[in-house]
Structures are given as C-alpha cells and as structure tokens.
Structure 1
C-alpha cells in the first residue's frame, strides 16, 4: 500500500490468459453475440465517420451560436416531457449524472475512457448497469443536437449540458472547453475480463484477504460501474474501511485526490435522487440487448408506466437533501446532524436513513411535491464521515461554503476535461484563463532560423555523441505521448526531469550525459527542440551513411516546462511496462509482448505499416534499451548498426536462418542460427520475430525487405518518425482556432 495515497499496488498491469484477450477483455461480441455486426464494413481501414475528411469540427464549433445553445439547454432543464418526466420538474440532476458518467470512465493507467469522443452512446457503456436510464437523458437532448447539428458534438454536448445543469440550480461552474470530436463506433478499450455485471453478483476487484489488488489500468471497482458500489464493497454496507479504501483507490486512478473525491461526491449528491422504486426483475434488458422495436431504449417497464414513478437505476431510493434542485450545503449538514440506520429500498438495495428526521429535513416526493419522504445516504456517502481523512475534509467543507464551492467547481472541471490534453485544445468563450498543473502547462517556445538550427545539428554530430544515443534520447522524449488523453510527448522536454529520465526503459546512465551535452550546445534553442533536432539529425546521418540523401522535417517552437508546473506523480502511469519499439520488457508478463507492442502503437496513433517500419528502423539504429530483460543490442539484426538500412527485415526473413528459443528465457528470447553449421547469427525477442511469424505483419515486412524498396523503407521510416516527434504539437495545429 502506498503510504501517501493509501493506494494498493496493482502490480503487473498485464495479467490474464496470455493473449490479446487480456488487452481487450470482454468485448461487445462477448456480451451481445446476437447484435448486428458491422465490422465487415470497416475493411481496409475505412472510417465509420460520416462527416468526411473535409469536415473540421473545431472550425464548426467556433461557428456555433454558443449563447443560443446555452439558453436552449437551460430552457430544457424545466421542460418536463410526458414520456420521461423530470424529477422535481427539473432535469438538472439527471443531466449532471449523464455528464459525470460520460467523463468518469477516464483512468490514468492508460489515459483511455473519458468524455472526449462521446462513447456513452455505444456499447458496452450505453448498457452498463451504472449507466441505467441515461439512454433517456441522451434522447432528451436529441432536439438540441438536431438543431445545432455539425456545430456541436455529442461529446461536447454531454459536458456542456452538465455544466448548464449545475449553473441552472445555482451551483458553481469553473468553465468549459469545447473541441471533443465525436467518433461513430465503439472504441476498443479494456474494461475487464469478468463475465458478470455488478448487478448479477460480481465480486469487487479488490480482495485484500486474498492478496488481490485492483488490476491496472482498470479504475472502477466492478465490471459495469463508473466508480464504486454505493452499497459497499461487494454490496456489504458494514465494511466501512473497505468502502473508503475502494473510493480512495478508484478516484485516485481517475486522477482525483482525497479533497477532490469528497468535493465531487458531496457536490454531485447535492442534486437529485437515487432510483430504486421497484425490484430489478420488473424491467427489461439494457439497451444493447433489447428488442428491435424499442428503438435503442433499455431498462423498460410497462410502456404505459414509463417514467411514472417506477424508475429503478441503482436500486437505492431517495434524495440526499431536502432541496434536490438547489445548490447548498444541506448534504454535509444532514450527514453530520443525524445518526443513520441501515434500511432497504423497495428494490432491495441497502441504504442509510436518518433516525427521527425533522420534517424540514425531509425531501419532497419526486412526482408529488405535496408529499415528504426521508432523505438517504449510501454507504459511499457514509464513508465521508466514517473515514478519518475524508471526515476532516467533509467537516471543513461543512463549515466553509466558499471552500466547497471552489473545490467542487474545480474538481468538476477536472473530471470533465482531464482527457482533453493541453489547454490549447480547448475551444469557446468559457475556457478559464488559469493554467492548472494537471493540464501539463508548457510555455510557448521560440522560433529559430534555419541557419541556427543547422549549426546546432552540425555541432551535435561533431560532439562525439553516437547515432543510437541521439535517436534513443529523441524517441524517449517523444514516445511518452499517448493519444488517449493527449499527455506526454516531446514538447516541454519533460524527459529531463529525474522522475522520467530515470525510467529504466530510458537507460538513464546513457540518457543523462546526452541531455547534458545537448543542453550545453543548444544556445537559445529550447531543450525540447534540441532533443528532436539532434535525434532527427542523427536519422539523417544514418540515412546518408546508408547511401540515401534525405531530409528529416523538424518543426521548431517547443517550449521547456518548468519543474514547478510538473506533477511527477501524475506522470507515473506513463512509464512503460513494455516498449516493443525499444525491445524493452520490464519482466515477463502473461500478456504476449507483441500484444503490448500493438497496444503501445495504438496509444501513439500509429498504423500497422508505421509500427512496422519504426521497429525495423529503430533496431538497425541501435535504439534498443540496455535495461530490457534480454540485455543489450538484442534485435539489432544488422552488421552495420547506426546506418538506416532495411537489414532488420532482410535478415529476419532470410531463409538461411533457423530460430530457436533460448531455454532460460521462457519463450521471450530467441537465437538465430545459420542452417548447416548452426553458428549463432542473431538474438531477438518476440517483438522481433512476430514480424516474420504473423501473416499480416510478414506481408508488410516483406515489402520493406524487397530489393528496390530500400529507399521506400527510409522514406516511410522518416515519415513515421516525424509523426511521433510532432504528435503533441497542438500549439501548431490548434493555433488557427484561437
């Protein structure tokens, strides 16, 4: 357990049966085998996006009548629909939950999840038990989406509506940034391997008595939940210690500290109610498994009764406060004013009810304001006064409304924007001016003349630094990028901070002197630019030494982040357990290393050919981690290292080589022997040999090994290299929108 955060270490993030299933877990096909399969129509990489390549969402959003859509959303809050009436005549709480659950899937482990692409519309998220009845919230928004069309994505609309809901009920809002572009198909995200949803008796993912920790990169405590089981760990309301543990662990994995956890819980529960009017067996299936004629609706009761007070979602029934559509501090006031007893909802869920509440502290009935009903707390709510650390924060917020206002507004903003990346990607008039540390702020860089850049590159190549060390330094800096939450990358030169420089994969004893030398030579060039310029100059020289006169494009203008604005702890999840591009594996895992290579390529936004050519090029350039489990230079299948040749592919596919497993490697290391005299030629890993054994990868490797395609290999490598070096240059691509 981490002494600072209370977090239970998840250990190796790649556990399971040892194949790609461990990176995908249960898929939509597993959950709904009879659902219409559209995969056959997405052949040859064709996108499901109907908007076309010419559609520029950022440009369209900037043309949005922002004031008008906010007014329309605000008006919708109290325009109760007969087919799904609003609790208390106000949809605000419902829309807050919709936005919260759209954003709350984000996890720091791999940066996946979150609100950025509107995934709540698709399976499996649209059918998670924790997202029960949010299908109705999204349909309530359809008239607004229809009206504003291409100018606002569903992803932005979810979050903007959540903000407007808070604002319309008097709550504090820190700001809003648009720019989330919709996708039109489910993203492939690992949500877990369990074969049951939480509401069918699945156990919690943390079992301390059994030595079971929450698996990385997962954050939710059970399959089908956004955070924790509100009834308690595994449904046990008496496990107070376990409830706080689960909350602390899951919220931490979603980038929230204790104060943010308390503020979000209390702020969110200041509004609305839980729904547990009837047992779960009185309503139908989740949307993805329902009959065709239900038109995408799920969790249905009798059509004549839909929305008439028989709603069941969590199974818990009741409001937290006596004023469910007004912002205030009643949540904490009631939590500490009363003792609570364990009761059971009409749906059979465990919940807590205040003992002998005063009538003024009772809530109105959601459908009949003339009636009064007791308020409730969930076991998760009770943790805010049962756990000593949570209680201190809760008591402070109880006594300081301004502190709660500020903490909730900031935590909500972080929740709904954490996966958007640098602030330059935020659009619209409500973007806050303040730079927040979790946004990884980077000062603007400076432009340098071509002659200055070339002079620096010449000095680097004359410095005695090797081609491999320069390439490795640039790759180490840029390949931290992940397109899931747009964190990392070369901009900012975060690689110079010890917390990242000292990652084993970076060979810090080699990287440190390289960075020192570049810092010494760079003059007015930022270190971030210097690292990329040096690496690219090394690639150019390696190509020249192989007989190819090419230019590696380099964009200038990166800035250097300050250590003051560097949150080292939040960067910890970016450290790779495995990096097949550098032939690095921390230790043998149950998931195949080639599967982890594919996962890493996906986070870098690479295509299969780009992944393939980068591996081949980095190998011959000697960009292999010395701290790989296999030792130095493994996979460098060339007799002329440091030259940008296609030797990796020609030697890998050479029919005169016989590959054998190195016995002690456990199927991770291989030796290539010459047929006949069986002399050793090469050493390689799974992430090397997969380009010869996998039929699809072999087909691409063969292209790069063919006579006459040597220049094509070099050109394709340079293009893929440049793509990675520039992956985080949002300061260039988004400048035109500001």
Structure 2
C-alpha cells in the first residue's frame, strides 16, 4: 500500500470509540460480574512522577510567604477574559475552596478537598460547580510558577483562605499536605440518579424526613454540594430547607452553630449569578468539545461575563459590601422583611421589602449602578428556624465571636478530610489540638519489645484472640479521610468497645490481659494490641513450621475519652467485615461488594485482599467463631490451606440460603466445609482466582507468607502518619 491508498470502502483504520467506549467492556457483557475497579484507583501508572517523588519533601522547598503574597495580589488583579466582580476575586476563590471541600461526608469519609479532585469529572462538571473551572484557570499562572512544590489541592484551599484574609477576616490557620490525584475517583458513590438535579425524592425514604436520606450521601440532589438554594426540590419553604440543611451539614460533620456560621460567612462575600438564561450556556467542561480546552458553561448568546454571568440562576449579592468581611449579611437578613421573587434566569430568590438606597450593592462592573440584594431559601432558613435564629442572634450580639466561629468552621470545612494533625505541614498550622482531628498523644518507644512479646505469647490468649483484637483495632482506618486505625487504642473507649463487630465480651477479656502487660512494660495499650496481633501471626506461622517476623514500629499513643468525639466515631462502626466473615445484618448489596468497599478504604489492593482473607480464615478469626471459609484441619496455623482447598476440584459447591454454601466431597457427597459468598468469590472471580492460585501452588507457601506479612503490617501501620 502506498501513501495514496486507503482501506477498502474508505473505512477508518481504528475502531470508532474503541479507546473510550465501554460498549464492549467486560462489565457490559456480564453486568453482574464483580467489578474490581474500585481497588485499582490511582494506580502508580496514572502518576506523572517517578517513585522518588515525595510531595512532603517538595513542600519543604516552597516559599510559603511568596506564594501567599502572589495569591493576595491575584485577589484584586481582574483579568479581561474573566473579569472580577467589583474588581475582586475574593468571592470566586472562596467558592472554589468551599465547593472543593464541601463534598466531604462523614459516613464514609469520601469527597472533600484533600486530593484536588475538583479538576476531574464528575466534580469539574457538576451544575453546582459551574464556573469553578474559571477559578482554576485564574490560579494557573501561580500553579505554573511554583510547580510541583504546591499541589492543586493545597492551592485551591489556600486561595479560598487568602480570599477571606484579604476581605478582612482573621483566619484560624492553614495546613499544607494535600497530595493531588491524577485520575477521577470512581470509588465514590454520588447517588443513583441518571440526570442532574433530579428531584431529591429518590434518595430519601421520605423527603419530608431528611434523616431518611440514603447513606452515605449528604447532598440533597445529584450535582449539588449540599442543599438546593431555591428550596426543597426547588420549591421555597425556609423551614423545610432548614431541616435539610441540618441533616446535610451533620453529614458533613458540622453542628448547628458551625452550620449557621458557615452559611452566614459563606454569603458575606461574593454574589450569585443568574442574569440570563442557562439555556444559552455551552456544555459543562467534561462535555465540551476540544476547542473549549476544558472550559465550560460559556454564554453562547451575549457577553456572558461580568454582570451577564449565569451560574446558579439566582442573581444578586447578599450584602452591600460584598468584598468585605463584616456583619452585612446579618444586617440585611434581619434588618428587612423579605418576599419571594424570581431572577432573570427564572430562579426563586428572596428580595427585601422597602429596600433603602444605601443598602443596595453596586453593580459588579459599574459602581454608579445599584442593584437589589437577595437571599436564598437557605439564608431564609437561618432566620425562620428557631434554633438557627437563636444562634444568629448570639452572633449579632458578639461580632468577634461570629468571626472566630466562622474562622474555625472554615478551617474545619477545609481540613476535615486531611486526617490527623500529623499530616499538616507549614508555618500556619494552629498549635491547638482540635477534637475533630482525633488527637492522639505520642506513645513511648523505649521499652523492651522482645520481653513484651514473650509475655504476650505466654499470656494464654489464643491466636484468634490476639489477631482478631489487633485487626478490629486497625480495621477502622479509612484512607478517604485518614480517620480510624489502631493508633490511639480507641477500641477500648466508647463507642468502639461496645460495637457488635468488636465482640465486646471477647474484647473486654483480651484487654483485661493486655492492659496490665502494657503497663508493666511501659508500653502504650495501642502498641501492645498491635504487637499482640503480630505475636499471633508469628505463633501461627511457627505452628505451621515457619519462622517469620512481622515488622513493628513502636510509638503509638493512647487516646482518652476527652480526646475522642464519640458521636463522630459512630460513622466508623463496621457493619460488615468480609475479612472476619461477618455481616451485622442482611443488606441489599452483596457481601462481596461490601468487602471491596472495606478493602478500598483500608488502602489495600486486590491481591492484598486475597492473601489477607485466606490467611485470616486459616487463623480462625471469624466473628463469633463461625467456621465458614475455614477450609483447613489446621485452624490456628498460618497455612495456604484456604487456597489449595478452594481450588481443588475434588469438591463441589452448593448454595443453602442466606448467602451460605456447603462444600461437598464430589465422590461421596459429604459436607466437608461451609462458606460465605466472600469466600467463594475468591475462587469464582477470574482475577481473584488468579491471585489465589499463586498461593495454592506447591511453591506458594513462601510467596504467601511474605505477602501476608506485608499486607498485615500495612493495615497495622496505615494510620502511622507520625512516622511516614
């Protein structure tokens, strides 16, 4: 074929959509197959840096004050391509930061600003995030200048904090340390709706009862950060909106006072944009064609900038001085009666009755033009709801208290998903330990580790006791917001000591043995629990004829009740644990899907999941001592029996109801073992079976011991940010 030849029939030489379409994917052919993609998120192949790149080390090279000065200058450096309202970007960058952080939810710790995920779909194209793309482009020259010494995640939140500082707020502090991701987060469930802003009824058992919102969701509709500013399902009713706000912000880990402060402070600067029709906007960034270069929501009919922007559809500022930190929001909301109107874009908004000329904010482009201020239904909720109203009255009586409460609330909003304070970096990290940071005191490191191990081994506690207690202490860790884990030994405190999944009677018995040993050795209980688990693994390996040493790093501390926000820890309660073959109750979601969710939160890979699950079955750590999946006659020994028997075709597998199965001898029909779905999925899923076969092979013992030990240590050390 020479250069003038084309394929017969003029056909394109590549499959159309072949690189991006899911039409011919495995899951489209077999939709019920277990999809392991949740465990393959943020693979190292997505990262543009080599294995030696360390963001925390790069931060040490950052000139923090120079960066902050550049951001301060940007706040009042209006750009022609996207002019600033009133010549100031404080409202823009407060919103970028708010909308990055505001997707956080307490239930599973997912969302939030800690990864720079606002750069990717779906967040970059949520209706509620309209024009945050412009904010990121305005930040680009600064990101370009400082390069890899500052992440997008840190930069966006710092920009919002500097915006409030420039407006006049004394901020509470700032911590660097958020490392960027380089691929969309597909592991986050944002809801089942198939259209943006679909009525919220589908995510509630009863939309009149906000507490019935589907877990783990927090926002009331698909594509919103928290609540609909026009009202429940777009229908204004401040008291109904107040109820949704209270539930939504509670799911964002905020109490009523923090909620009122954030609402008031969030609307003290900036404005809403709705001076035109949303029908004239181009596609959102992710759906825009290549010539838009990742910019969306551009007005295709008219200027579309300045006073002619359309974002939420609501049009107007909340205060007469929208670039200044003051009490203007309270003065406006409580100084007037309000009536329901519609914006030029047709959105419901509240406007003041009998507005005085001196209270009219200036037009964003022409100071000689005065405009009408507005309130959303969420603002009106702060006035109409008795509890919120009382809080606002306290704020109005003490403006300094309001500013401090907002500053602390803003800090919490923008740092809540960063995890322990040990992860914070920089000169502006507050010295105060805050209870929502789950503080843990430093633990002792200079004690006789070998002597303590010997006493644990001679304590009379079984391998199952030792391993199960350590696992239960560590398994609460979730990489989504870096909460939980073994550090702090909170398993001995309320509420964890009473959780069903922790088998309170067994836990109390084991702690009664370990705590005196810890005190005698001068070690923390947290270290002793983890060390006990390691001892259990080592004893089980020795019983199987293998000498191994599980890595251990001392220094965990013991948290106190006063350092523990018990209510927020309720969200960490395990209600399922495939590793210990336990479900608190029957769920609509299959047990193997729940296993994947727990595995992803623990930061484990698919092969680490397989090796841990099979090893723990051999160790006999099932919740309640059940025998499901214990495919061995050597329970309590660290063997590969789970894998070799699972893959042995001498057996057949038969469902017996309630997600349980019998493993029968193919020749005699005798029941040999029983199993759960999470046991059998290791053999039925082609990917997981491929991993299981490694350890079922005749030469699989050494790889198994090495992989199990590494995975076990990874879970035990997941929350050791003090040594990472």
Residue in structure 2 matched with residue 509 of structure 1 by the alignment: 505
State the shift of 1:600 in Å: 0.8
- Report 1:430-441 matches (<5 A): 430-441=428-439
Q: Is the CA contact (8 Å cut-off) linking 2:42 and 2:183 kept in structure 1?
A: no
Q: What is the alpha-carbon distance in structure 2 between the residues aligned to residue 343 and residue 207 of structure 1?
A: 31
Instruction: State the 1:578 CA deviation.
Output: 1.4
Task: Tell me the alpha carbon deviations over residues 197-244 of structure 1, each in whole angstroms, 9 at most, x when there is no partner.
Answer: 01x656573362687821111111100000000100001103x33201
Q: SS where residue 498 of structure 1 aligns?
A: coil
1:364 pairs with 346, 362, 365, which one? 362
Shift of 1:427: 0.5
Whole-angstrom distance in 2 between the partners of 1:285 and 1:67: 38
Q: Where do 1:213-362 residues align within 5 Å? A: 213-238=212-237, 240-302=238-300, 305-362=303-360
Cα deviations across residues 169-205 of structure 1 (Å, max 9, x unaligned)?
Answer: 101310000011111111121111101101x656573
Q: 1:368 to 1:124 in 2, by over 3 A?
A: same
User: Which of 655, 669, 673 is matched with 2:660 structurally?
Assistant: 669
Once the two structures are superposed, residues 306-361 of structure 1 have per-residue CA deviations (whole angstroms, 9 ceiling, x without a partner) of 41421111100000000000111111111111110000000000000010111111
Aligned to 2:597: 599
Question: What secondary structure does 2:367 align onto?
Answer: coil
Q: 491, 495, 498: which is aligned to 1:495?
A: 491
Quote the Cα distance in structure 2 between the aligned partners of 1:30 and 1:696: 19
Look up the match of 1:473: 469
User: Residue in 1 aligned with 2:643?
Assistant: 649
CA drift of 1:280 comes to 0.9
Q: Do 2:201 and 2:207's aligned partners in 1 also have CA atoms closer than 8 Å?
A: no
**How many Å apart are 1:292 and its aligned residue?**
1.1
Q: Secondary structure at the match of 1:105?
A: coil
1:721 and 2:712 correspond: yes
The answer on whether the counterparts of 1:204 and 1:233 sit within 8 Å (CA) in structure 2 is: no
Task: Select between 583-592 and 414-423 the one with higher mean Cα deviation.
Answer: 583-592
Aligned to 1:122: 120
Cα distance in 2 between the residues matched to 1:217 and 1:728: 23
Q: Quick check: 46-55 or 472-481, which moved more?
A: 46-55
The Cα offsets for residues 17-73 of structure 1, whole Å up to 9 and x where unpaired, read as xxxxxxxxxxx9899x9xxxxx9xx99954211122111111111211111111111
Who is 1:536 aligned against?
534
1:128 and 1:485 mapped to 2: Cα distance? 22
- The number of residue pairs the alignment matches comes to 687
2:62 counterpart residue number: 64
Q: Distance in 2 between matches of 1:133 and 1:708?
A: 57
Q: Is the 8 A contact 2:646 2:683 kept in 1?
A: yes
Q: Residues 278 and 346 of structure 1 are in contact (CA less than 8 Å); yes or no, is this contact kept in structure 2? A: yes
Alignment match, 1:177: 175
Distance across 1 between alignment mates of 2:294 and 2:582: 45
Shift of 1:448: 2.6
Segments of structure 1 that go 5 or more residues without pairing to the other structure are 1-27, 34-38, 734-738
- 2:633 matched to 1:636? no
Mapped partners of 1:208, 1:634: distance in 2: 38
Report the 3-state secondary structure (helix = DSSP H, G, I; strand = E; otherwise coil) of the residue aligned with 1:47. Answer: helix
Is 1:686 the counterpart of 2:677 in the alignment? yes
Contact 1:287/1:299 (8 A) holds in 2: yes
How far 1:541 moved relative to its partner? 0.6
- The change in CA–CA distance for 1:439 and 1:45 in structure 2 (over 3 A counts) is closer
In the TM superposition, 1:555-634 aligns within 5 A as: 555-626=553-624, 632-634=626-628
Structure 2 regions of 5+ residues with no counterpart? 1-19, 26-36
Q: Which residue of the partner structure matches residue 80 of structure 1?
A: 78
Q: 1:235 to 1:306 in 2, by over 3 A?
A: closer
CA distance in 2, matches of 1:703, 1:291: 46
Q: Is the 8 A contact 1:196 1:202 kept in 2?
A: no
SS of structure 2 residue aligned to 1:681: strand
Q: Do the aligned partners of 1:672 and 1:680 also contact (CA within 8 Å) in 2? A: yes
Q: Distance in 1 between matches of 2:487 and 2:386?
A: 41
Match of 1:167 among 165, 168, 174: 165
2:693 to 664, 678, 702: 702
Residue 556 of structure 2 aligns to a residue whose secondary structure is coil
Alignment pair present for 1:658 and 2:658: no
- Distance, in Å, in 1 between the alignment partners of 2:72 and 2:168 is 12
Give per-residue Cα distances to partners, 1:522-559, cap 9 Å, x unaligned. 22110000001111011101000000011111110111
Q: How has the CA–CA distance of structure 1 residues 561 and 320 changed in structure 2, closer, same or farther, with 3 Å as cutoff? A: same
Which of 458, 463, 470 lines up with 2:459 in the alignment?
463
TM-score normalised per structure 2:
0.93
